[in-house]
Amino acid sequence: MTNIAAKGEEDIVLKSARLLLGFFRLAVIFASVILILSLPIMAIFGQEILADVGEQFVNKPPVEVLWVAAGFVLVLLLIMLLSYFTIDRLRKILASVREGDPFNRTNGVRLRGMGIAIFAIQILTVVLGAAIGVIVSLLGSMKEGEQMTIHGEFGISLSGILLVLLLIVLARVFDRGADMRDELDGTI
Amino acid sequence: MAVQVKLDDLLHDQRMTLTELAERVDITIANLSILKTGKAKAIRFSTLDAICRELKCQPGDILQYHDG
């Protein structure tokens, strides 16, 4: 058992994953702070923002655009929270691998939680896509010569569904692994 | 459990302590105590082999099945 843990400590894959997850965690925290700050900015400078955006459109944008944009930011914030939850769980699973005891029931619960969180992210991404659709329809037609491009994919992806399935199946594998370890622990 | 471990009786017959047996079969006293008190979930053939060798007995002398 100790040898496996020692190997885990030196494993380049585990080390890289830990560093990468640490970076992702910081990026999610940074993005969340920006999103939280954007809400009061929208509330204070809402009219100025609308006027600025309105210059590119035929009609003056209605104030509802701000409300939908605020909702968009809130959903994005929720996605960030779920991402943080997922990254944090994965970091804890990695730590248990390093300690040499990954096949426990807690990791099964963590994996199941990650699966549910990623499923929720998939659903919220669809909500984001719908919010963009509403904003675009509220803004109406653009003035001649003006152009606006929206980048990003908003919808349920096949890889996302596969990831959710993988995590839920892995959670069951870990549950069974914990059962087997319990059995082995009781073997003399 | 219907299967009972009769290690206590065997040790008594052989005038051997659990500590002594633990040293001879190279199993910790804690694990041997779990086996003796019937709390073990399974027993390895290697463990059974070592106990039989040291106590000069058959596996049937260590384990006994009680119906019901």
Nearest chain B alpha carbon to A182: B41
- Largest Cα separation within chain A, whole Å, is 82
Q: How is chain A split into domains, by residue range? A: 2-185
Tell whether the model's pLDDT for residue A2 goes beyond 80: no
Nearest chain A alpha carbon to B25: A188
- CA A169 vs. chain centroid, Å, equals 20
Give the model's confidence band at A1: pLDDT under 50 very low, under 70 low, under 90 confident, else very high.
very low
Nearest chain A alpha carbon to B30: A188
Over the stretch B1-31, which tens digit does the pLDDT of each residue have? 688 899 999 999 989 999 999 999 999 999 9
CA A117, A118, A123, A125: dihedral to nearest 10 degrees? Answer: 120
Separation between Cα atoms, residue A148 and residue A3, nearest integer Å: 58
Q: Which pLDDT score is estimated for A5? A: 46
Who wins on pLDDT, A132 or A167?
A167
Q: Which pLDDT score is estimated for A10? A: 59
Question: Which residue has 């691998």 as its token pair?
Answer: A97
Alpha carbon separation from A56 to A131, A138, A141, A144, A186 (Å, rounded): 20, 13, 9, 9, 72
From chain A, the residues in CB contact with B35 under 8 A are 188
ipTM field: 0.77
Give the model's confidence band at B68: pLDDT under 50 very low, under 70 low, under 90 confident, else very high.
low
Q: How far is A166 from chain B (nearest CA, A)?
A: 32
Separation between Cα atoms, residue A143 and residue A46, nearest integer Å: 21
Over the stretch A37-87, which tens digit does the pLDDT of each residue have? 999 999 999 888 888 888 888 788 888 888 999 999 999 999 999 999 999
Domain that holds residue B23: 3-65
- Domain count of chain B? 1
| Domain CATH code at residue B61 | 1.10.260.40
Q: Is B43–A183 a contact, with Cβ atoms under 8 angstroms apart?
A: no
From chain B, the residues in CB contact with A187 under 8 A are 40-44
**Residues contacting A179, CB < 8 A, separation 6+:** none
**pTM, two decimal places:** 0.75
Does B34 touch chain A if contact means CB atoms closer than 8 Å? Answer: yes
Who wins on pLDDT, A111 or A148?
A111
Q: Chain-wide mean pLDDT for chain A?
A: 88
Q: Is residue A113 packed enough to be buried (19+ CB in 10 Å), middle (13-18) or exposed (0-12)?
A: middle
Does B15 touch chain A if contact means CB atoms closer than 8 Å? Answer: no
Q: How far is B3 from chain A (nearest CA, A)?
A: 15
Tell whether the model's pLDDT for residue A113 goes beyond 90: yes
Q: How many interchain CB pairs under 8 A, A with B?
A: 22
The pairing of beta strand B63-65 with beta strand B3-5: antiparallel
